[in-house]
Structure 1
Amino acid sequence: MKNNTDKQPAKEVVLAFIDALNKEDFTAAGNYLTDDMTFKGVLGSRDGAHAYMKDMQQMKLKYDVKKVIAEDSDVCLFYDLDMSGTNIFGCGWYHVKDGKINSLNVLFDPRPILEKAK
């Protein structure tokens, strides 16, 4: 795969996006996403940056990145994720196109969240 980013390397784009989310700067975070960005996760999926960012504003997740693996336009993050006081280890696979995140696939064990919701 050829790197499609024209502004910053994909790794820098993704880490800047995570930094903005951690600071709850949702406007800045949204600027790192393409309008047609797709999200696929364990608990559902979203089409479009607006729908995804709406969820992020409500959940106010905090990421503690443990490892970054980047290859061309793809970046994989391993992180501890604070979801309203529930800490979960997860992995996110980000694809960057034209300097913005175009897709995100997330994997984690949802049992702690589902147990808390009971």
Structure 2
Amino acid sequence: MTTEAGATVGSANDVVLSFIKALNEENFAEARNCVADDLKFVGVLGQRDGADAYFTDMQHMKLKYDIKRVFSDGDDVCIFYDIDMDRATIFSCGWYHVVDGKINSIRVIFDPRPLL
């Protein structure tokens, strides 16, 4: 994949898996490098506009992801995973969209009842 500026970047799949790996390692600086500044996050329990807002929450929650299956289609990556949310482990699905080598949107769905 090549950006408009001509720089070579990894596939969407590579970018997303690098992002998840960095989150699991609590390497938030590396995870931040995988996302666009204007990241849009939509989840069951709310949404975040902007990478800074997203990472403020992620640094407090320190979630751990156990990937079960990955599906890719161009710039879209879908992952089924168990997310360890401290109070419960929740089977979830995340849809990641990558533009110019950076994740610019994340949508996560799961059954929130164990958390409520």
Interval containing the TM-score (normalised by the shorter chain): over 0.9
- Cα distance in 2 for partners of 1:35, 1:47 equals 9
Aligned to 2:104: 102
Q: TM-score, normalised by structure 1?
A: 0.91
Identity value in percent: 60
- Cα distance in 2 for partners of 1:12, 1:97 equals 13
Matching of residue 75 in structure 1 with residue 77 in structure 2: yes
- 1:3-18 matches, within 5 Å, as 6-18=8-20
- Out of 25, 43, 64, which is 2:27 matched to? 25
- Partner of 2:90, secondary structure, is strand
Aligned residues: 112
Aligned to 2:65: 63
Residues 10 and 108 of structure 1, relative CA distance in 2, 3 Å threshold: same
- Cα distance in 1 for partners of 2:33, 2:61 equals 18
- Cα distance in 1 for partners of 2:63, 2:27 equals 12
- Partner of 1:95, secondary structure, is strand
Conserved 8 A contact 1:69-1:76: yes
Unpaired runs of at least 5, structure 1: none
- Partner of 1:30, secondary structure, is helix
TM-aligned CA deviation for residue 37 of structure 1: 0.5
- Out of 78, 84, 87, which is 2:86 matched to? 84
Unpaired runs of at least 5, structure 2: none
